[in-house]
């Protein structure tokens, strides 16, 4: 991320500030000249952020969005402390705000793309009759795959209902007739 972003910014600066006929070579020279500075800054920022994040996880015994937000604030503050307290405070506030926005967008995207939870059926809302019209005597008579009563007598009614009932219904009927003989 640092190499791509820093390379693009420095290429633009080099091309913009160079005379005609020398724009692209000067842009690539700017990338070559500034790459170690950007890479070093990105490495220091990433190292401090990771150190603060791991320390907060160890201290708080939690892995939640507050850890990266606080880590961003601490990293921004520590990197600016040599310029004074007010500069460190502004940088810490900006780092916390930036990481808060990143975490907020991440949580929002996770909630938008996550599958919906399955609806659980309450015993109070179960119908008194099944879809085949027969009366349900007991809640335990309802099969998990459908709303038909589960009965041991497979010869008295045809297998209908969900996909498994229609796919394996012939086998059940045949097995029921064989047991009845």
Residue 131 has pLDDT above 70, yes or no: no
* Exposed e or buried b per residue across 54-65, where buried means at least 16 C-beta atoms within 10 angstroms of its C-beta: eebeeeeeeeee
Segment among 39-48, 91-100, 121-130, 172-181 with least mean pLDDT: 172-181
Q: For 55-104, write each residue's pLDDT tens digit.
A: 999 999 999 999 999 999 999 999 999 999 999 999 999 999 999 999 99
Average pLDDT over residues 120-140: 57
Calpha distance 143→120 (Å, rounded): 15
Does 175 have pLDDT greater than 90? no
CB-CB contact of 78 with 47 (8 Å): no
Backbone phi and psi for residue 149, each to the nearest 5 degrees, phi listed first: -70, 140
Q: CA-CA distance, 165 to 112, in Å (whole number)?
A: 35
């Amino acid at each position: 991320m640092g190499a791509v972003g820093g390379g693009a910014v420095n290429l633009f600066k080099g091309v913009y500030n160079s005379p005609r006929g020398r724009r692209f070579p000067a842009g690539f020279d700017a990338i070559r000249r500034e790459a170690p500075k950007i890479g070093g800054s990105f490495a220091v920022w990433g190292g401090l952020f990771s150190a603060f994040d791991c320390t907060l996880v160890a201290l708080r015994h939690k892995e939640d969005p507050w850890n990266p937000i606080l880590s961003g604030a601490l990293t921004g503050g520590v990197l600016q402390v040599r310029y004074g307290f007010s500069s460190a405070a502004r940088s810490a506030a900006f780092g916390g705000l930036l990481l808060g926005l990143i975490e907020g967008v991440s949580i929002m995207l996770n909630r938008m793309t996550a599958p919906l939870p399955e609806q659980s059926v309450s015993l109070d809302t179960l119908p008194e009759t099944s879809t085949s019209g027969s009366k349900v005597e007991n809640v335990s008579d309802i099969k998990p795959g459908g709303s038909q009563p589960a009965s041991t007598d497979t010869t008295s009614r045809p297998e209908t209902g969900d996909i498994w009932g229609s796919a394996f219904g012939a086998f059940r009927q045949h097995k029921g007739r064989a047991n009845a003989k």
